[in-house]
Structures are given as C-alpha cells and as structure tokens.
C-alpha cells in the first residue's frame, strides 16, 4: 500500500513546491516508485521545477473528469526512472478537485507506487484541504519567521481535525517539521527565528533544516530539482532529510554560520 505524504505550510512562498520536487526525487533516487502530484490547480508550478512543462498534455483535472486515463497524464521524470509527475491544470478552477475524484485517482496510483507526494497550494482553502485530506504523513514546511510558523501551526490543527484520518478516528496523520531557508548568519543577528524557537512553538519532530542557498533558485530556473546538485549544501540537506524520513540516523548539518577564512577576515569580506 502506497504511503500518501502531503507537503504543506499554510503560508505561500516558503518552498513547498521546491521541497516536493526534491523530496520526491530523493525517494525515487533511493529506489522507491514515487509519484508527485501538483494540487495547485490554476497556478501550476511543479512541472516547471521538475523541468517537464513542455511535456504536459493531460493533467490531474482531466483524469478526475474522466477526460484522460491516468497513464496518459503521468509524466515520466527524465532523470530518475522511478519518478512520475502528475501536473495540475493551469486553466481550471480549484473547485474542479472533488473529494471523490481525488480519492479515485489516489487509490489508482496506490496500486503502482510506493510513495505519493502531494504538493499542496498555499492557504487553507479547498485546494489545500484536498491535498491534505487523504494524507498518511505530512511534511510541514516553514521558514524561520513568525508568520510562517503561525500559519504552520494552523495547518497542524487542520491536519489533526479535518483530515480523513481525523474524521474517521484513525491513527493521526504523522507530522514532520521541515525548516526551509534557514540562514545561520541572520539567526545569529536576531533577524530570524532560532531553530529552537521554531521547534518549541510547533512541538513536532524535526525532519530537516534546509539552509538558504542561491543554488535553489538556480536549479528551479533550470527545471532541475536541487537534490541532484550534490555539491550544493541545500541539495545535501534535502538528501539528509530523505534518508532521515526513510529511518536512517543523520545529524542536522548547516546550522552554524561558516567561519570566515583568514584571508576573508583580513580583507573584511563576507
């Protein structure tokens, strides 16, 4: 039985789509058959980050409405053969996502895949509710700033009260915290929330900390999930996170600001 994992946050722009792409790619690189679904109907982005926007013919909504078969809409990732992308529709409205339709597609996918990763839209409206409703586990993505943390807290409440597992009194959705765009230099200056503060407010297990890195934007623009860049600290942190998710022990890295070298100190550079 496939595991359904939602990448969610409440607030927009914290890196849900980047994380979905990296996480799903990571699972596929580890040998698991993985599909990543874009739930952001009307503002589809995942296909861009995954570099497959030119190959979108049919989408998630077409499948829900019976206008296309599932295998016609699924796009095979060009880097890893275990990975498929189910893109969102750019022209439709979020209301096209029906609970019955989403459930039917998810149960079809569950036959062929080990992991189903749902990339949630921002907010707590219908699209976000549909993305999290069927989840078994949730990766709550948050930035180290107070409004993002507050919105994540709200999403955690919704996960534990309005998801399928909550409504049917099943074992609750398993929660993971992912702190994204963590910048130790700004944390030490007091411009960002400290990791400990975020952990204390949200009080859920920490799955990973992704450091702020220019590589993320560069990779997104190229349509390459950042986890493929093995020399990048963000790519390494994402791989650590995937391995931790799969049950391996990995220490959290990149939490301290790198010490400036002697030459940098002499010239007063960064």
Partner 1 sequence: MNRHDLQQESTCFRLKGGLVALTTIELLNFTPEAFQRQLSKTIENAPRFFEQSPVILALEKLEPSHQFIDFHSLRALCKNYGIILVAIRGGTESHRAVAQTAGLAWLPAAKVKESKNDKITENKNDGNVILMSQHQLRLELNNNAVDNNMSEKQPATPSVSSVAKVITTPVRSGQQIHSDGDLIVFGQVSTGAELLAAGNIHVYGALRGRALAGIESNNHARIFCHSFEAELVSIGGNYKLISEQDKKYWKKPFQAYLVEDKLHLEALS
Q: What's the rounded Cα separation, in Å, for the pair 168 and 24?
A: 28
Stretch that binds partner 1, among 67-75, 104-112, 146-154, 261-269 (CB under 8 A): 146-154
Helix axes 146-162, 195-202, angle to 10 degrees: 30
User: Is beta strand 75-76 parallel, antiparallel or unpaired with respect to 3-8?
Assistant: unpaired
Lay out the sheet containing 174-182: strands in order across: 75-76, 83-86, 34-38, 115-119, 3-8, 137-142, 174-182, 206-211
Q: Smallest gap, in angstroms, from Cβ of residue 96 to partner 1?
A: 26
Can you tell me which of 2, 35, 158, 226 binds partner 1, judged by CB under 8 A? 158
Examine residue 162 and tell whether it contacts partner 1 (CB under 8 A): no
52 binds partner 1 (CB under 8 A): no
Among candidate residues 32, 30, 33, 9, the one with its CA nearest the CA of residue 20: 9
Tell which positions 165-184 bind partner 1, by CB under 8 A. Answer: 172
Which of 160, 174, 194, 255 is close enough to bind partner 1 by CB under 8 A?
A: 160
Closer residue to partner 1 in complex, CB, 98/160: 160
Give dist(CA 48, CA 176) in Å, integer.
Answer: 26
Closer of 46 and 158 to partner 1 (Cβ): 158
The single residue among 43, 68, 104, 201 that binds partner 1, judged by CB under 8 A, is: 201
Q: 212 in helix, strand or coil?
A: coil
Residues forming beta bridges with residue 75, ordered by sequence position: 85
Residue placing its CB nearer to partner 1 in the complex, 158 or 237: 158
**CA gap 13, 45 in Å, rounded:** 12
Judged by CB under 8 A, the stretch of 32-40, 127-135, 154-162, 206-214 that binds partner 1 is 154-162
In whole angstroms, what separates CA 93 from the centre of its chain? 22
Q: Is 203 in the site for partner 1 (CB under 8 A)?
A: yes
Please identify which residue in 161, 188, 221, 264 interacts with partner 1, judged by CB under 8 A. Answer: 161
DSSP H or E segment with residue 83: strand 83-86
Give alpha helix (H) positions in 60-145.
Answer: 60-64, 70-73, 99-112, 126-133
Q: How many residues bind partner 1 (CB under 8 A)?
A: 12
**Identity of the residue, 97 or 159, whose beta carbon is nearer to partner 1 in the bound complex:** 159
Q: Which of 3, 150, 164, 174 binds partner 1 (CB under 8 A)?
A: 150
Q: Name which of 70 and 156 has its Cβ closer to partner 1.
A: 156
Q: By the criterion CB under 8 A, which residues form the site for partner 1?
A: 150-151, 153-154, 156-158, 160-161, 172, 201, 203
């Amino acid at each position: 039985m496939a595991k359904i994992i939602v990448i969610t946050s409440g607030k927009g722009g914290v890196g849900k789509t980047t994380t979905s792409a990296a996480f799903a790619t990571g699972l596929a690189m580890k040998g698991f058959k993985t599909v990543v679904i874009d739930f952001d109907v009307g503002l589809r982005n995942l296909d861009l980050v995954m570099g497959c926007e030119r190959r979108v013919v049919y989408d998630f909504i077409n499948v829900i409405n019976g206008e296309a078969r599932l295998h016609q809409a699924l796009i095979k990732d060009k880097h890893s053969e275990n990975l498929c992308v189910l893109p969102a529709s750019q022209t439709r409205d979020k209301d096209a996502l029906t609970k019955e339709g989403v459930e039917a597609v998810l149960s079809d996918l569950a036959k062929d895949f080990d992991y189903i990763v749902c990339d949630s839209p921002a907010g707590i409206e219908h699209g976000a509710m549909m993305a999290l409703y069927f989840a078994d586990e949730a990766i709550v993505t948050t930035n180290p700033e107070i409004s993002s943390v507050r919105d994540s807290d709200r999403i955690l409440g919704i996960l534990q009260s309005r998801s399928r597992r909550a409504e049917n009194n099943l074992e609750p959705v398993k929660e993971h915290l992912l702190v994204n765009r963590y910048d130790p230099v700004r944390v030490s200056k007091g411009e960002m929330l400290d990791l400990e503060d975020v952990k204390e407010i949200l009080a859920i297990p920490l799955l990973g900390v992704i450091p702020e890195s220019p590589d993320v934007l560069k990779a997104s623009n190229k349509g390459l999930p950042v986890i493929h860049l093995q020399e990048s600290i963000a790519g390494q942190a994402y791989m650590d996170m995937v391995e931790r998710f799969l049950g391996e022990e990995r220490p959290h890295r990149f939490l301290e600001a790198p010490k400036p070298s002697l030459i940098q100190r002499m010239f007063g550079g960064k």
